[in-house]
Structure 1
Amino acid sequence: MRSPAPWHSPVQPAPGFDAARVRALFPALAEADEVYLDSASTTQKPLPVIEAVEGYHRRHTANAGRGTYRWATVLEREIESIRARTADFLGARPDEIVFTPGATAGLNAVALAWGLAELDDGDEILYSPRDHAANVYPWVQLRTTLARFGRHIRLVPYRVTALGEADIDDLAARVTPRTRLITVSHLHHVFGALTTLEELRDRVDPRVLWCFDCSQSGGHLPIDVRALGADFAVLSAHKMFGTTGTGVLYCARRVHDRLTAFLPGGNSAVRVADSMLQPAEMPRRLEGGTPNIPGILALGAALEVLTDMGLPRVAEHNRVLTRRLIDGLRPVPGLRFLPGPAHAPCENGYGIVSFTLDGIGATDLGFVVAELGFLVRTGAHCVPADAGAERVQPVDAGGPNGLADADSVRVSTHVYTTGDDIDRFVRCVATIASEVR
C-alpha cells in the first residue's frame, strides 16, 4: 500500500537558525565527517553543558547540601535553582520536580513509590505495547511483585493508529471502573507521532492518573504538564543536550500524599518513634542518596541553551526537516514508512521518521549508510517483543503497512541537522535502493 500524497507547499528553511553558529556550539560535530542522524538515541552536547561538567570536577567539587562550608552550600543553592528552572520549563512548581538517574528510573519510581502502595487486587493500568520498553517493563515488574503479595493487577494494552498515535476510541473503550493509571508516550520514539490524550480527558473519571513519557518531546517542543493534565511525566536529560545518567520526574501535587519513599536513604526519610520512617517532604521523598551533581548542573546548562534557542523555533526546525525527509524518501522504490508523520493528512512531525527498504534488512542498510557517512539507528528501537500483557485482541492495527513490529531504520534530527544533511541522506538511500533492486 502506497503512502498518501506528499504535502504540496514548498519546503522553506526554519526561521532564525544560523547553521554554522548552531553547529559551532557542538564540538563533536566540528571534528566529525559523518552526518549525525540519531538524536532520538542521544543528542550532541553543546559547549555550556561540557563546561558545566568539567567545571564541577575542576573547581569546588563537593557534595551538595552535605556540609556548611561554602562549596557545599553554593552547590545546593545551584541545584535548587536548576529545579526551579526545570519547573518553569515544564509549567510546574519546584516541589513537583524530582531529579532521577534517567527517564527509565523515573517510570520505575512511579511504579514503586505509587504502584506498590496504592494498587489493589483487580486494579488496571492501560499502556501501549508499542511504547519504549521503559514505559512497559516497569508495569510488568510491578504486576509480578504485587502478585507475590496476593494482589493481582491487570495490564490492559491499547491500540496505536496508522498515524502512530494512541487510538483514543480504543483507549476509551478499555477504561473501566478499575482503571487506575493511563500511561502514554508523548512523542513516540519510533513513529514520531505526538499524543496528548486531550480528547480523552473529559471521558475518564478524574480519579484516574495520567503518566506521560516525554523522553523524546523534552527539548524538542514546548511541554506544559498542566495543559497535558499529567500526574506524572518523565524526561531524559541526555536526549535534550544534557548528559547520561540524569532525568526528571514530574509529580503533580495531587499525588504527593500517595507516594512512598521507595529509595530510603539520605534526604528521603526521617526517623521517628518505634523505628518507623516517615517520608520527607516532596521532592526529597524520592531523592534518596547523593544526586548526580554534574549531571544536574549539565541539565541546567542544557535548559539555558534550549531556552535561548526558543523551543517553538526548535520544534519548527525539526518539523521542516521531517517534512523534507519524508518528501525526499517518498518516491524511493521499495521504501515503506512505519506509522507516523508520513501518513498524516496534514503537516506535522518533530524529527523522527522510521522506514524499511525492500531487498535489504534494516541492520544491513544501517551499516551501509554508516560506511557512507550517515549515522542512524536500526533495529526494534527498544520496543518489547513480548510485553507480557493479557492478550486483548487486536492490540494494534499494525500500521498501514503492517510494519509496527518490524526492524526499521530510524532517522532523527535536531537543531544541528541541516537541510543539506537530509538531502544527501535521501540521495544515498535512493542510490542503495536502485542497487538492491
Structure 2
Amino acid sequence: MTAIKENILAAKVRSDFPILQQEVNGKPLIYLDSAATSQKPQAVLDTLRHYYNHDNANVHRGAHTLSVRATEAYEAARDKVAKFVNAQYREEIIFTRNATEAINLVAYSWALTNLKPGDEIISTVMEHHSNFVPWQIMAAKTGAVIKYVGLTENEEFDLEQYKTLLSERTKLVAVVHVSNTLGCINPVETIISLAHEVGAKVLIDGCQSVPHKSIDVQKIDCDWLVASGHKMCAPTGIGFLYGKRSLLEEMPPFMGGGEMISEVFFEGFTTGELPHKFEAGTPAIAEAIALGAAVDYLSAVGMDNIRAYEEELTAYLFKKLATIPNLKIYGPKPTAEGKGRAALASFNVEGIHASDLSTLLDHEGIAIRSGHHCTQPLHRLFNASGSARASLYFYNTREEIDVFIKVLKETIDFFNSVME
C-alpha cells in the first residue's frame, strides 16, 4: 500500500472498519479514543468468525483435523507477532490476556524470584497503573525499593535525573515507551543502554508504541516488552510478552495447570518448553489468531506509513487546539511537522470539568476519553483530578479534527455563558 499522505487515502482505509460507518446521537461517529482501544478492520472480524465457523477446537491437544488447523493458525499468529517486533526466536513471544498480565508475569516470575531487600526498581511518574501496581506489590513482598524518574520543564522523561538514580543496586527499570497521557516518546534505546551498564534488566510498556510505529526489540535491546492486541486493531482479551529467550528459560512458570507442563507425577511436575511454559490452560485461541490477522493488516498498511500520517494529523490537531484560549495540553509540543510526540492530546480547559466536556461532545457523536487515564499519580502532580483526551489513529481524518475543534469551541462557549 502506498504511503498514507492524503485524507482520501485515509478515507479508503476507514472503509475497512465497519464500526466507523455509523451515527451516534444522530451524528456521524467521530472516534477519537484509540489510545484506550482501537477499532477493528473487517479482516480481523472475518478471522474471528472463520475460526468459530470452521476451525473451533482446542490447540496442541488433538490429532483430529480441526485441532490441527486451530493449532497451525494459533502458532502462525505467534510467528507473525515475532516478525512484527523482530524477535530473534518465535519462542520469545508469549501470548497473554493483555499487557497487564504480561507485566504481572514478569513481576511474579522474574522479580519475585530475583529481587531482595535493598534492591532498586526504577520507574517513572508517567506510568500506566499496570506498570505501577505490580512493582509496588513486588517491593512489598521482596523489600525492594522503587524510585521514580520525574519530568523536565517540557513534561518529558528527565534523562539527567534517570542517570543519577542508576546504580549497582538497580535491578529493574520498568518504563513506558509512549505515555498515554503526555504523548511523549521516551528515549528507550538510551534508557536501556544505561540500565544495562549497571547490570539492570529493562521492561518496556509498548502499548502506545507497538500499534503506531515500527518496533525492533533486537535493536532497542529490551529484556521484555509488552503490548495489548486491542490497541492494535486486534480483539480484546489478547496481548503478548516479548522476552529474551535466555531470560524466559531461567524464569519459573507464572501459573500452573494444563499446557505448561511436560510431565506430571504425584511427586511433582516438569515444565514444558518455551513458549508453552508460560501459557497455562486453554488460551484465547480465536483472539490470538485474530491478532495475527491484525498484524497482517497493519503490516500491509505499513507501520512507517502509519507513523508518517499520524505525524501529519498531530501537527494539524495541535495547530487547531492552539486557537482555543485557556486550554492546557499536557506533555511536550510537537514540531511543526508533528514529530516528537504521539498522536494524542490530553488537556483541560480552565473552569470546565473534563467529564462535562466529553459528555457534551458525545451528544454530537464525538468520542473522546475523560478521567485519569490510569495515570492518577501523574495527574496528582498536575493538581488535576483528570483530563480530557483526544487520541488519533490512521483511520482518522483532518475533517474529523475540524468537527471536533468546532464542537469543542461551541461546548466551551456554552459552559462559559452558563457561568457568566
Q: Same fold (TM over 0.5)?
A: yes
Partners of 2:174 and 2:348 lie apart in 1 by 28
Partners of 1:279 and 1:176 lie apart in 2 by 35
Look up the SS of the partner of 2:376 in the other structure: coil
Task: From the superposition, tell whether residues 404 and 303 of structure 1 become closer, same or farther in structure 2 (CA, over 3 Å).
Answer: farther
Matches of residues 262-411 of structure 1 in structure 2 within 5 Å?
A: 262-271=254-263, 275-342=267-334, 347-385=339-377, 403=382, 405-411=384-390
Partners of 2:100 and 2:8 lie apart in 1 by 32
Look up the SS of the partner of 2:40 in the other structure: coil
Root mean square deviation, CA, Å: 2.3
Displacement of 1:20 in angstroms is: 3.0
Partners of 1:325 and 1:123 lie apart in 2 by 43
1:4 corresponds in structure 2 to none
1:104 corresponds in structure 2 to 100
Choose from 373, 382, 391 the match for 1:412: 391
Displacement of 1:81 in angstroms is: 1.3
Counterpart contact for 2:314–2:338, Cα < 8 Å: no
Choose from 24, 34, 39 the match for 1:39: 34
Partners of 2:313 and 2:205 lie apart in 1 by 23
Choose from 170, 184, 207 the match for 2:199: 207
The Cα offsets for residues 337-360 of structure 1, whole Å up to 9 and x where unpaired, read as 111335999733331111111121
Counterpart contact for 1:163–1:343, Cα < 8 Å: no
- Number of corresponding residues: 408
Counterpart contact for 1:163–1:344, Cα < 8 Å: no
1:113 corresponds in structure 2 to 109
Partners of 1:16 and 1:282 lie apart in 2 by 44
Choose from 55, 58, 64 the match for 1:60: 55
The Cα offsets for residues 21-56 of structure 1, whole Å up to 9 and x where unpaired, read as 211100111123220000011111100111111111
Long gaps (5+) in structure 2: none
Displacement of 1:120 in angstroms is: 1.6
Counterpart contact for 1:120–1:152, Cα < 8 Å: yes
Percent of matched pairs sharing the same residue:
30
Matches of residues 62-77 of structure 1 in structure 2 within 5 Å?
A: 62-77=57-72
Task: From the superposition, tell whether residues 314 and 281 of structure 1 become closer, same or farther in structure 2 (CA, over 3 Å).
Answer: same
Partners of 2:312 and 2:246 lie apart in 1 by 38
TM-score, with structure 1 as normaliser:
0.88
Partners of 2:66 and 2:319 lie apart in 1 by 54
The Cα offsets for residues 236-262 of structure 1, whole Å up to 9 and x where unpaired, read as 000000000000100112312331112
Counterpart contact for 1:102–1:235, Cα < 8 Å: yes
Displacement of 1:202 in angstroms is: 4.4
Counterpart contact for 1:98–1:286, Cα < 8 Å: yes
1:10 corresponds in structure 2 to none
Residues 1:429 and 2:404 are matched in the alignment: no
Residues 1:178 and 2:174 are matched in the alignment: no
Q: Give the 4+ runs in structure 1 shifted more than 4 A.
A: 342-346
Look up the SS of the partner of 1:203 in the other structure: helix
Greater Cα offset, 182-191 or 255-264: 255-264
Counterpart contact for 2:204–2:225, Cα < 8 Å: yes
